[in-house]
Amino acid sequence: MCSAVPAFLHPAICGHACFAGTRTGKFLSRHAAAEARLDGIYVIRTSLDAASLGAEAAMEAYKGLAGVERAFRNAKSDLRIRPVHVYSEDHVRAHVFMCMLALHVEWHMRRRLAPMLFEDDDREGARAQRSSPVEKAEVSESAKAKADTKRTPDGLPVHSFRTLLDDLSGMALNQLRLPGHGESLLSVVTAPTPVQKRAFQLLGVKPDQNVPIRLPG
């Protein structure tokens, strides 16, 4: 038997190399030939029927697993799903639920903010460049333009999701107490920058209208 076998060799090919010239070697040779016919081929299996998820949709879903992996990374980093600082079963479940809810919100935010991010905001255009979902994924012309110029079509700088959130964090809510109005507070939002304004437009949020202004009569 071989004393050292490269880790990248297929087990069947390794066995053939190690036992060549013996009955075992002949058996493994046939096994290696059968395996070779399937090299580069894999099967995607789903529990859904064809009406619910066709072959092309199943392939697209499989290729979208990178998004799932990113979600797990974000849960462990930005959302701090661990360490868990609660101990009862109900509290742990609630903690995990809130993290998953935050991931759901983030997914929708990424989709709406895609025109401002280094992400493809023309998925249909990218998909149209392939004749089959099995082919290598391509990005749309819109995504290529953003990557080349680092600017959006309206001239704003392109962001990652993280840097855009950092930019939006510059918005401030000031609470003012005016002379003659007792203890009542006036809530005023700072004027948004062009980047912040565009982001809130895409999100459908109007900060200046969503903050209550309380002044006594």
- pLDDT tens, per residue, the chain with 217 residues: 444 434 333 444 444 444 444 555 555 677 777 777 777 777 888 898 988 988 888 888 888 888 888 888 888 887 788 888 888 999 999 999 999 999 999 999 999 999 999 988 888 888 788 777 777 878 888 899 999 999 999 999 999 999 999 999 988 888 888 787 777 777 788 889 999 999 999 999 888 776 555 544 4
Q: What is the pLDDT of residue 1?
A: 41
Residue 148 and residue 177 in contact, taking contact as beta carbons nearer than 8 Å: no
- Which residues in 113-213 belong to E strands, given as ranges? 173-176, 186-189
pLDDT at residue 210 in the model: 60
